[in-house]
Amino acid sequence: MTDHITHDPIYNTAHRDDFPGMMNVDRYGARTDAFDAIISATHDHFWDPMDTAYLDFSSPFDLKNEYLMPRETFPELQSAVVDKLDEGQQIHLANESTRWSLSGILHGEQGALSLSASLCHILVDPGAQEYASNQTREEARHVTAFSRYIHTRWGKPYPVGEALGGLLTELVGAEEVYKKLVGMQMLVEGLAMGAFANFHSKTNDPLLKRLTQLVMTDEAFHHKFGKIWADKTIPKLGTEEHNRVEDWAAQCFETVLFNLVNIRQKQVIYDQFGLDWQWVRDACREVFTDKDRRNTLKESTNIFRVLIKTLMNSGIITDRTRPIYSHWVDMDQMEGENEDMIGYAIADEGIEYLKTINRGRKVIGQK
């Protein structure tokens, strides 16, 4: 039997091939109201990536002469790499690195779409199932939006990195509900909130700034779904169960921390410039140490800081695994911060923006 580690009946599951069980007449009336607020708020943050009222993908950006993200955010351009590249090549490398990051986000959104759809097949509670189907719809528009952005700026995305692709495949295919919810709804969604906040605050492209804000209006609610699971589940866990959840979270954290923007994972970029990825790695290590990595984690929008805060606020981190995270951030300082997640304020502003548009919105094709 699969051990889903849920404890609350709203997360009860059926086997993914047991469709007859979904037609049990008693099931239809056993609906939780735990997700009603998230579901009903869907209309407040509706947007359509195919409608220019929300996003105008025809807006130009000069990739040859302008940095999509600030130059100082790229370790390669703070290293000996710059000695081998002229100014145009440096801009090109930086923008290709941004393309790599956005490609990873696109693949992550596809993972979230597929995982949410898989929850629809197994969650028995109609309310939980409705929430999962709602998130599936929203993740689908994220896939559309990032696909269009990457197509507009570059033509096509980079292939998924080995580490990220492996993690997403594991999460989507996992049978245990806790792995899906901790791995995707908390860790990956936590990473996404940090990444989007970082892009929104630093990008020089107004289109990317608006795109990430609109996606955040959805992701803030997806993140809350994982928090609801944690609130209803973590306090009820026995020691052995908590250890399993905690160890799984720590394993996923270390996977993304050391591999998500790893030079080896990005070697396809350096081939274009005739640079050996191992030489690039060594050059970056000379100027970007663990101390520098820890300093970057002090930024409120740092994706890994947001991830640690998510796990800490959910009660998943204990003294057993605290040293893994305290090596990178000041956990005592983080505990003294309010529980508001980075990006919620940006999402709230986005929702107000959407309300203004949606009041006068016409459906595409409507006369």
Q: How many CB atoms lie within 10 A of CB 68?
A: 23
Burial (0-12, 13-18, 19+ Cβ within 10 Å), 43: exposed
Report residue 107 as tokens. 């693949």
The Cβ-side half-sphere exposure at 120, using a 13 Å CA radius, reads: 14
Q: How many CB atoms lie within 10 A of CB 39?
A: 16
Tell me, what DSSP letter sits at residue 339?
Answer: S
- Please tell me the pTM assigned to this model: 0.90
Of the candidates 336, 341, 353, the one whose C-alpha atom is nearest the C-alpha of residue 227 is 341
Determine phi and psi for 123, rounding to 5 degrees. -75, 125
Question: In this predicted structure, what is the pLDDT of residue 365?
Answer: 56
Report whether 35 contacts 225 (CB < 8 A): yes
> How confident is the chain (367 residues) per 10-residue block, as mean pLDDT?
75 87 91 91 92 95 97 93 96 97 94 94 93 95 98 96 90 87 82 87 97 92 83 90 91 80 88 95 84 69 79 90 88 79 81 88 57
The Cα-based distances of 111 to 35, 93, 263, 363 in angstroms read: 22, 27, 23, 28
**Sign of the Cα pseudo-torsion (316, 313, 11, 112, in order):** negative
Question: In this predicted structure, what is the pLDDT of residue 111?
Answer: 93
Question: In this predicted structure, what is the pLDDT of residue 109?
Answer: 94
Determine phi and psi for 13, rounding to 5 degrees. -130, 160
Question: In this predicted structure, what is the pLDDT of residue 163?
Answer: 85
Distance in angstroms (rounded) separating the CA atoms of residues 29 and 196: 38
Domains parsed from the chain with CATH numbers: 61-355 (1.10.620.20)
Question: In this predicted structure, what is the pLDDT of residue 96?
Answer: 97
